[in-house]
Structure 1
């Protein structure tokens, strides 16, 4: 484990006025968590999502050994309830086009650059039974803290547009994203990332195979406020 290991304890709440406090721990995940992390993937992406795209133990081992600072999970009642994974890349906003597979090394992160300028989000997953607790937002906030700790310029990642297929007959992907930004439409992923403090950088076609998004994704960033 890296010397700057991440760990914080906090109470999370179910949405609504009746939500009771639940103790959660956000920390680096380790090899002992691998089975639980794979279970998160299985529950988050059930069939017909292809099982070969769930995390493998080889991928998780790379996350833990190549960039442990970017491998975080939320633990509730002693087991992982959600996870987020990242790597460090060199990002040039003037050459923003890329696919998820090439920038994350298909999730293996062997292209992690310790001297890069950007923390890139590979994946965020929350077990369905815990999704009312806002764990995804807490994980994103924790990754912002990693960005500040490592003195990186930004956090970046591609957000799917899973609501776009419902409007693709009447508007382009650009028009759809603009409608989400204007508050005229709500997208499950893009709207979530906006609420997390992320801002749009570029709409990318062919980002990943995703029928609901028609293969589009919106690159969205959070800039380190301590770096100009």
Structure 2
């Protein structure tokens, strides 16, 4: 199992953080964090429920990770193992994650697929998402996997959808002409673009699009 203690910074002040695997006792707080992190118009049926979380810790506990700040649960990231064919990248979030239940987890898969990441709003200035993503990179290296992969929402796209295609929007974000809350964050975490995927998730802000992004194991895998 995984546990790492380090410091993050609130301005100039060091703050103790613990990154670890989550368990059943964390479920109520994990659900509360989802509700705070993804308010409407994000579909409430996409928030975690106890059945999904139970599958996470039973089927692939190594990919069920949370972060604490001063003993308070501040965020989580969830992943499963799968196979990925770069020649056929299009898929939906529901297909890739079994609608968040990860019953399609493949123990011998070589791609670590990000099901979800969320940080409690009051902690977002601490860059905890970077810690959680780093935990997946460490798992990828530890287990000799090929990559971390996942679809990044494009919540800023709805403001530009009448004048830019999804691909043009992504290109503008990568060129630094526009900023997107999710895509820009993932770029800072070291993820690189694979392809734009239509109809990835029911998400009005992203107009259904996502940018598939990966982090390749620098040691092979």
TM range (shorter): over 0.9
Indicate conservation of the 8 Å contact 1:36/1:79, yes or no. no
CA distance in 2, matches of 1:99, 1:87: 15
How far apart are the structure 1 equivalents of 2:75 and 2:52? 17
Matched, 1:166 2:162: no
Change (3 A) 1:216 1:6: same
Equivalence map 1:81-160=2 (5 Å) = 81-160=74-153
- 5+ residue gaps, structure 2, are none
Counterpart-to-counterpart distance in 2, 1:78 and 1:179: 40
Counterpart of 1:65 in structure 2 is 58
- 1:12 matched to 2:12? The reply is no
Q: Is 1:29 aligned to residue 22 of structure 2?
A: yes
In the alignment of these two chains, the number of paired residues is 221
In structure 1, what is the Cα distance between the partners aligned to 2:82 and 2:96? 8
- Given the alignment of the two structures, is residue 179 of structure 1 paired with residue 179 of structure 2, yes or no? no
TM-score normalised by structure 2 residue count = 0.97
CA offsets 1:191-210 (integer angstroms, 9 cap, x no match): 11000000000100100111
SS at match of 1:23: strand
Rounded to whole Å, the distance in 2 between the matches of 1:167 and 1:61 is 39
Structure 1: stretches of 5+ with no match in the other structure: none
1:90-145 deviation per Cα after TM superposition (whole angstroms, max 9, x unaligned): 00100111000011000000000010110000000100111110001111011100
Q: TM-score, normalised by structure 1?
A: 0.94
Output one character per residue of 1:50-86: Cα deviation in whole Å (capped at 9) or x when no partner.
3322111110010001000000000122231100000
SS in 2 for 1:84: strand
For the pair 1:215 / 2:211, whether they are aligned, the reply is no
